[in-house]
Amino acid sequence: MFAVQSVDVGLDSAFLWQVLSNDGNVMLVPRQIRLGSLDSFCLEPTGDSPPEAVVVLCHGYGAPGSDMVGVVQDWASLLGEQASRYQFLCPLAPLSLAELGMPGGRAWWSLNMARMMEAVQAQRFEELHAETPPGLDAARTQLGELIQTALERMADKTGQKIDDIPLAIGGFSQGAMLTMDTALQGPCRAPNLLFQFSGTVICQPQWNVQMSRLSHTRVYQSHGTVDPILPFASAERLRDMLISAEVDLKFHQFYGPHTIDGDSIQTTATMLKELTR
């Protein structure tokens, strides 16, 4: 079983981890970089051979910027030597939540938690699904610039064409919503893989219009059936939208709360392996 881990990594800290494989060792070196207007944890191998694929994973509301590093660790353990073929990026959301009593917590856009929970309890999902949250447009632009910059830098190093570089993006909770929105409406190209961990529908009218952008994207969506934060019914709405648009979707439901389960880690690691074959 591979569980989501939170790794407390200061922005000025340097650390290494070693991923053991049957044939040898892969060393990934996390470091902080800035791409566009966003800081990000960058995890890529040491050595002479540069990675050939970009993977971007966005944390959820209230999490520290390092939150998704634990997921990358699990992926790297499963990928073994193949982990050296990827540049993993875990961007830090631009908004600090320290003033709201969450030191280290960050957000992609501000949430009215009381309003959201009231709507969830009353099962008034339509207004949440249809609205464009204030701050989403700016977050989408920032994430799109990060992705485009990462692709351009990799193209310069490897000689690949930008459109030929394998690209996977995804996120958890608010990070899932942002990556779906960026895949559909962002300034960068659509990804080859899109991971949606415990996300939901926002901007439904706009998303429906743009679903054709995912015609060449494989989507993985997972959601707990007893999620108290973003109810399973909202996940079903997103699932049905994707199915109606004939998107290549793998949907995984599990008995659990607002989290990423072990099956999701293992399945997405397999999808990443297939991305660079």
- Print the SS3 string covering the chain: CCCCCCCCCCCCCCCCEEEECCCCEEEEEEEEEEECCEEEEEEEECCCCCCCEEEEEECCCCCCCCCCHHHHHHHHHHHHHHHHHEEEEEECCCEECHHHCCCCCEECCCCCHHHHHHHHHCCCHHHHHHCCCCCHHHHHHHHHHHHHHHHHHHHHHHCCCHHHCCEEEEEECHHHHHHHHHHHHCCCCCCCEEEEECCCCCCHHHHHHHHHHHCCCEEEEEEECCCCCCCHHHHHHHHHHHHHCCCEEEEEEECCCCCCCHHHHHHHHHHHHHHCC
Of 124 and 252, the structure prediction assigns the larger pLDDT to 252
pLDDT tier at 217 (50, 70, 90 boundaries)?
Answer: very high
What is the average per-residue pLDDT within 60-83?
93
Of 36 and 10, the structure prediction assigns the larger pLDDT to 36
pLDDT at position 121, please?
A: 62
The pLDDT tens digits of the residues spanning 84-97 come to: 999 999 999 999 99
pTM: 0.89
What is the average per-residue pLDDT within 243-270?
97
Is residue 125 pLDDT above 60, yes or no?
Answer: yes
| Protein fold of 17-275 | Rossmann fold (3.40.50)
Of 19 and 14, the structure prediction assigns the larger pLDDT to 19
